Amino acid sequence: MLEVRDVALKEFVDSHHKSFDDDLAALRRANEEEGVPLILAETEEILSLLLSLTSPERILEIGTAHGYSALFFAKKLPAAHITTIDRNPGMIDFAKAEFAARKEGERIDFRVGDAMEILDELVSTLSGADESQKFDFVFIDAAKSHYREFFEAAEKICTKDALIVCDNILLKGWIVEAEGKAAKRHRTSIKYMKQFIEYLRRRDDIEASILTGGDGLAIIRFINE
């Protein structure tokens, strides 16, 4: 559904992407060659800027895959602690191996299981906790039909100044137009993602920016009066 011009622009942006280091460049290449899901180069650029501006100390990620984005967070912010969640048996051992192979992996707490169950555990541990123990940056990049649940759990364990970033908000453009097989196959995700965007718009206690960068991002902060 992307126009030729959009593809050319995307390729241009990707070709100018500067990896954080050679290790991440090689990991990106390997993930892309193996068809492992990972953040797009443009998404990484936007995240990189947000991380530089906010310098979070405790990051929560929902959706680890082989660990690329978690390692990016850990490398970019050498003092940060990252908690990342995935339930997919096809991903878990690979992610564990990538974390074990690098010193940054020592700052990554990999929680294996369904995100909602793990989020519920984190909510019980952290909801009454001091701000200094809560997450100050959240990256939601997992089951596309569950963003609202992920968001509502995450906000209970965030600091008041936290940023919550949701990836794939535009679902490869299917959010506005899906045809044939894509329309059928992804109809549930499309329906729930549209509802999630409307939900963000209705909430007057948050500021939510919906961007077309990468595969579409929602960047959310809480309005603290």
Ligand X SMILES: C[S@@+](CC[C@H](N)C(=O)[O-])C[C@H]1O[C@@H](n2cnc3c(N)ncnc32)[C@H](O)[C@@H]1O
Interacting residue ranges for ligand X, rule: CB under 6 A: 37-39, 63-65, 68-69, 85-88, 91, 114-115, 141-143
Q: Where are the alpha helices (DSSP H) in the chain?
A: 4-15, 22-34, 41-54, 68-76, 89-100, 115-126, 147-156, 180-185, 187-202
- Taking the complex as a whole, the smallest distance from the CB of residue 171 to ligand X amounts, in Å, to 12
Distance in Å, CB of 5 to ligand X, minimum? 26
Q: How far is the CB of 104 from ligand X (least distance, A)?
A: 14
DSSP state at residue 174: T
The 135-140 sheet, strands edge to edge: 108-112, 81-86, 58-62, 135-140, 158-167, 217-222, 206-211
- Tell me the three state secondary structure of residue 206: strand
Q: Which residue, 42 or 141, is less far from ligand X as judged by CB? A: 141
User: Whole-number minimum distance, CB 69 to ligand X, in Å?
Assistant: 3
Q: How far apart are CA 57 and CA 170, in angstroms?
A: 28
Tally Cβ neighbours within 10 Å of residue 149: 15
Which lies closer to ligand X via its Cβ, residue 108 or residue 180?
108
Q: Which is nearer to ligand X, 64 or 83 (CB)?
A: 64
Residue 178 CB, nearest distance to ligand X (Å)? 19
Nearer to ligand X, 115 or 158 (CB): 115
Q: Report, in Å, the least distance between residue 199 CB and ligand X.
A: 18
Pick between residue 87 and residue 107 the one whose CB is nearest to ligand X. 87
203, HSE (Cβ side, Cα atoms, 13 Å): 19
CB 77 within 8 A of CB 55: yes
- Under 8 Å between Cβ of 38 and 66: yes
Smaller CB separation from ligand X, 27 or 197: 27
